[in-house]
Amino acid sequence: MIRVRAPATSANLGAGFDVFGLALKEPFDEIRVEESDEIEIRLSGLKEGVPEGRGNVAYKIAEELGVTARIEIKKGIRSASGLGSSAATSAGVTVALNELYSLGLSREEMIDISARGEEMISGSYHADNVSAAILGYFTVVRGRGRNLRAISIPLKLKVAVCLPEIRVATFQARRSLPEFISLEEHREDLSSAVMMIYEALRGNAEKFGELMNRGIAERLRKKFIPFYDEVKRAALESGAHGVTISGSGPAIIAVLSEDSSGVERAMKEVFERNGISCECFLTESGEGARILEE
């Protein structure tokens, strides 16, 4: 039997739509796999809204790899949260099955297989979350299949995450984006994305966070999150370096200084003042999916 812990992730991070990812230390999924004559899926934990049986991404991953196994998934990441719930399962199951059957997959191959598993569920191929879930920390990915390339930069970030009790489906959020953008919008996002990579390499969390405040995806998707502008303003006024929508939302992520405090409370107060329950917590950037010792 193989046990794997796979982290929650935040994608896009402002200007890096479908390219940037960030692995979080918490929350996480735990996956157990063992040999079996058929593909079996067992769910526990935060399983509301998570497909079972053949509809689960883990089933798709096993089929893609051509193996059978009993797969137990303890969900610690809420579905439709914007925190890479299905990506954690995809990445964790891929890593676990690769180890169980000694498949010898490279990191890029595992990322691509995980992304293809997600594509079967969501209808679109995007490897930003699964790259972070496998490699850890701040990741940059491009391409697919044999052309896929991904890097991880060990950027240490303290972050606040606020998850309101609303649901935003990935396919719904993706439909809100235009097929084409203006040259000015492209230039703004591209320059911000390049500078974010530069600041990540320098380990400058403050500048990285400030650059995260920009991005066309945020501007077009914030309509799905009530009071988003007010929440963002409260976080920035409380000392956050940068605030943006995590993936498709509704989770909101804020980059903090090491000595900052109260940002998560400020975000929570805005939602609760307006009648929306939410969970807010502090975490930090962390490693990707890892095999646990028995």
Peptide bond before residue 27 is cis, with ω within 30 degrees of 0: yes
Catalytic annotation present for 89: no
Q: Which pair of structure tokens corresponds to residue 52?
A: 């079972």
Rounded Cα gap, residues 196 and 207, in angstroms: 8
Select which of 94, 170, 210, 218 is catalytic.
Answer: 170
How does 210-231 read in b/e, with b if 16+ C-beta sit within 10 Å? bbbbbbbbbeebbebbbbbeeb
Q: Which pair of structure tokens corresponds to residue 38?
A: 């058929």
Catalytic annotation present for 72: no
| Alpha carbon distances (Å) from 109 to 9, 72, 112 | 19, 23, 5
Q: In 181-283, which residue ranges form alpha helices assigned H by DSSP?
A: 183-202, 205-211, 216-221, 228-237, 263-273
Taking each helix axis from N to C end, the angle separating 107-122 and 57-65, rounded to the nearest 10 degrees, works out to 130
Select which of 108, 118, 218, 264 is catalytic.
Answer: 118
Listed residue (68, 72, 71) closest to 37, CA to CA = 68
Question: Are 279 and 270 a contacting pair, CB within 8 Å?
Answer: no
Rounded Cα gap, residues 185 and 26, in angstroms: 33
Q: Cite the active site residues.
A: 118, 170
